[in-house]
């Protein structure tokens, strides 16, 4: 099966940037749609961004559109989330997810594999 491991989280000042990485192992994810979700304390897990198998299509939550960019490097079996202009409300555990299908999806139930999460904390 596919294992996903997120990294790159940390503490950053509001207005700053972070880049999260999701490294896949076990199988290549070059034919998988991939996504990022996040969960803040007391809130439901929410969709952040998704990308198709070849990066040709992307989707973003309205709350992050224009600030976050999802990308992938299939040669490295890795997906990225570049986060700019971070706000305190972006603070959450960020999860990487993969799905069997090649297209984008915004629902948790569309994904088959999940990483353990990486903490992002944005201070004001």
How high is the pLDDT of residue 28?
A: 84
Number of helices and strands in the chain (H, E): 0, 11
The model's confidence at residue 5, banded by pLDDT at 50, 70 and 90, is very high
- How far, rounded to the nearest angstrom, does the alpha carbon of residue 1 sit from its chain's CA centroid? 19
How high is the pLDDT of residue 96?
A: 97
The model's confidence at residue 27, banded by pLDDT at 50, 70 and 90, is confident
Span 46-105, pLDDT tens digits:
999 999 999 999 999 999 999 999 999 999 999 999 999 999 999 999 999 999 898 999
């Amino acid at each position: 099966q596919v294992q996903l491991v997120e990294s790159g989280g940390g503490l950053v000042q509001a207005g700053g940037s972070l880049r999260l990485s999701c490294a896949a192992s076990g199988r290549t994810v070059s034919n998988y749609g991939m996504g990022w979700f996040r969960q803040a304390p007391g809130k439901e897990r929410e969709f952040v961004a998704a990308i198709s198998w070849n990066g040709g299509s992307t989707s973003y939550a309205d709350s992050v559109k224009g600030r976050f960019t999802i990308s992938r490097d299939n040669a490295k079996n890795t997906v990225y989330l570049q986060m700019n202009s971070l706000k305190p409300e972006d603070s959450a555990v960020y999860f990487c997810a993969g799905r069997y299908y090649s297209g984008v999806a915004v629902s948790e139930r569309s994904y088959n594999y999940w990483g353990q999460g990486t903490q992002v904390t944005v201070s004001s």
